[in-house]
């Protein structure tokens, strides 16, 4: 797997890298104790509430691939790729080429090691890169996906403009991420940092939960047409419940040899708080599918219904 060019000349790169790393560079083994086998640290998709985490995790990845209509010829960019769950899924199931970027060095090491072990040497690339400055030529990618990363991005206008630039004219862009309802967001915009926001920032390294309309406005301003939106908040509640169950099941091993007990207890407290957030409407999760609007465009044929996005046959 070829290394990507790294852009690290800016203040925000170092600041955000440090913040992101404070959370995501915890030992891989710790995350492996509670995430599903594909190591997707984002909302899974429960086609049936009895789905296991493993099935729901695969459902989510399949849903992303279906929404993006990924084909073997596609070059795909994954912004905030985590430990590469979507990258590996897309390469294996869709036989496409995938590039992933993240600000967590530990994640890149894991992806490279796994890719090498699984023989993905030519069609998978991972690198340390900030989403504000995508080091790619214009119109490089057919599809772009970002999963569970916009929560860490302050300037979505800039991220989406960069995405627009590197996406081919007929390309699709899928944004999967958390938002907060407007009444809560307005408090932050009015200049008040709530104690909950402060605690979340400290725990997750950095947090910029926008409202849904702000995310959509940034997409439209960047030049995207929104094709589809799905609120997947209740899927996230089920996901975090499964993570918390795994954490508590593996407590002894975790505190004995992976992370300090205080850190473990902080994690389970935040997991529990997120479950309550999703149980009400305090925290929301969305998938937004977009296409690039471009000059002299003639709309390409596209599915007329949402049927291709259905996972009715994925009950595990």
**Cβ 4 to another protein, closest distance in Å?**
38
State how far the Cα of 100 lies from the Cα of 77, in Å rounded to an integer: 6
**Cβ 249 to another protein, closest distance in Å?**
13
Binding residues (CB under 8 A) for another protein: these are 195-196, 199, 244, 248, 261-262, 265-266, 268-269, 271-273, 275-276, 279
Nearer to another protein, 194 or 315 (CB): 194
- In the numeric block, the tokens 């999703």 are attached to 278
End-to-end Cα spacing for the chain: 33
Nearer to another protein, 25 or 251 (CB): 251
Nearer to another protein, 173 or 264 (CB): 264
**Cβ 247 to another protein, closest distance in Å?**
10
**Cβ 133 to another protein, closest distance in Å?**
36
**Cβ 278 to another protein, closest distance in Å?**
10
Nearer to another protein, 171 or 277 (CB): 277
DSSP-H helix ranges across 25-155:
28-32, 53-67, 85-89, 105-118
Nearer to another protein, 134 or 271 (CB): 271
Nearer to another protein, 10 or 248 (CB): 248
**Cβ 57 to another protein, closest distance in Å?**
21
Nearer to another protein, 32 or 273 (CB): 273
Structure tokens at 265: 């207890």
CA dihedral 279, 281, 283, 285 (to 10 degrees): 90
**Cβ 183 to another protein, closest distance in Å?**
17
């Amino acid at each position: 797997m070829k290394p990507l060019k790294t852009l690290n000349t800016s203040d925000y790169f170092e600041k955000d890298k440090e913040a992101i790393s404070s959370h995501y560079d915890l030992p891989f083994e710790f995350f492996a104790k509670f995430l599903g086998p594909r190591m997707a640290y984002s909302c899974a998709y429960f086609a049936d509430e009895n789905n296991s985490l493993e099935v729901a995790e695969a459902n989510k990845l399949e849903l992303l691939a279906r929404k993006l209509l990924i084909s073997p010829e596609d070059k795909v960019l994954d912004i905030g790729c985590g430990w590469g769950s979507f990258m590996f899924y897309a390469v294996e199931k869709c036989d496409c080429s995938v590039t992933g970027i993240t600000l967590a060095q530990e994640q890149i090491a894991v992806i490279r090691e796994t890719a090498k072990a699984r023989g993905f040497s030519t069609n998978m690339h991972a690198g340390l890169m900030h989403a504000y400055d995508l080091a790619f030529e214009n119109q490089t990618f057919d599809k772009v996906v970002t999963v569970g990363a916009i929560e860490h991005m302050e300037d979505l206008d800039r991220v989406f403009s960069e995405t627009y630039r590197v996406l081919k004219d007929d390309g699709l862009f899928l944004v999967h991420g958390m938002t907060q309802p407007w009444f809560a967001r307005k408090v932050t915009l009015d200049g008040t940092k709530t104690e909950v926001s402060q605690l979340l920032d400290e725990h997750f390294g950095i947090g910029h939960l926008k409202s849904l309309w702000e995310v959509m406005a940034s997409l439209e301003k960047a030049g995207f047409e929104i094709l589809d939106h799905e609120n997947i908040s209740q899927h996230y509640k089920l996901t975090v419940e499964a993570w918390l169950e795994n954490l508590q099941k593996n407590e002894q091993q975790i505190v004995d040899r992976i992370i300090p007990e205080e850190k473990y207890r902080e994690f389970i407290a935040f997991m529990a708080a997120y479950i309550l957030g999703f149980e009400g409407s305090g925290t929301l999760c969305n998938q937004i599918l977009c296409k690039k609007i471009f000059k002299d465009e003639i709309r390409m044929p596209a599915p007329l219904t949402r049927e291709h996005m259905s996972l009715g046959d994925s009950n595990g």
